[in-house]
Structure 1
Amino acid sequence: MKKRDKIIYWIATAWLALGMLATGIVQLIQTKEEIALMAHLGYPVYLLTLLAIWKILGVIAVLIPKFPLLKEWAYAGFFFAMSGAIVSHLVIGDGGKDLFGPSLLLVLTLVSWYFRPASRKTNNPS
């Protein structure tokens, strides 16, 4: 793996982990803003707890060494959660400021996944 690719991977992964962990914690503690957002999007409040737990577990899975299949599942979960958030905002007519966060996290998910080292891939020959 090229040094440049390693740097891209770790920067994207660090920002992804920070973003998912931060939003997961906010969802776990169920701030008034998060509860209002879920109501605005038409989702039940209990979904906050589910999203929070999966985000936090996903961050752990992406950051720890080994377990490449678990990492694939975590990346897939991040992809589904963020693309779902984007679609949810679009469906109810929200604007760019509401799309920025999930769009950024979606891009970071894709960049981190694409640039991950061979040791973090499921088709690793070693």
Structure 2
Amino acid sequence: MHRSKGIVIGFWVVTALLCLQMGFTAYAQLSMPEVAEAIAQLGFPHYFRKELAWAKLLGVVLLLAPVPARLKEWAYAGFAYTLVSALIAHLAMGHGPESWIYAVVTGVLWGLSYFFWRRLQAPSVGLRPATA
């Protein structure tokens, strides 16, 4: 299968940035008391931040590892759910852009990564000679 070099580079750049952002937020949720407090103020139970952090780390591994496409789809779906939920939670609490902009920017990275990944998964058209 022929892959455009630009698509491959674009995928790895935005996916690396997405994974760094998700990995950092997972680390913050596990180790920074102020992040634990912020999650509690959003109304989530105390155990949720640890569950969410470990799920994010698993998602990062799935996006970066050579695993079946179905597992990557689940990781992308989980990240989408997480980012939309974060945005909704911040907006519902009346927080300003300084609080929810991270979810939006990470969502853009998510969208670009998913777009490039789907392009890499698509079969190339016109590479095989036609048979009569």
Please report the TM-score for the alignment, with normalisation by the length of structure 1.
Answer: 0.89
* Cα separation, 2, equivalents of 1:117 and 1:78: 16
Equivalences for residues 54-65 of structure 1 within 5 A: 54-65=55-66
The equivalent residue for 2:81 is 80
Equivalences for residues 27-66 of structure 1 within 5 A: 27-29=29-31, 31-66=32-67
Once the two structures are aligned, what percentage of the paired residues are identical?
35
* Cα separation, 2, equivalents of 1:39 and 1:93: 15
CA radius of gyration, larger in:
2
Match of 1:24 among 6, 23, 26: 26
Structure 2 residue runs of 5 or longer lacking an equivalent are 125-132
* Cα separation, 1, equivalents of 2:75 and 2:96: 28
* Runs of 4+ displaced beyond 4 Å: none
The equivalent residue for 2:16 is 14
* Cα separation, 1, equivalents of 2:68 and 2:123: 11
CA contact (8 A) 1:28 1:48 kept: yes
* Cα separation, 1, equivalents of 2:109 and 2:72: 15
* Cα separation, 1, equivalents of 2:116 and 2:13: 10
Structure 1 residue runs of 5 or longer lacking an equivalent are none
Question: What is the CA deviation profile of residues 30-74 of structure 1, one whole-angstrom value per residue up to 9, with x for unaligned ones?
Answer: x21112101221111111111001000000000011311000000
CA contact (8 A) 1:6 1:117 kept: no
- SS for the counterpart of 2:117 is coil
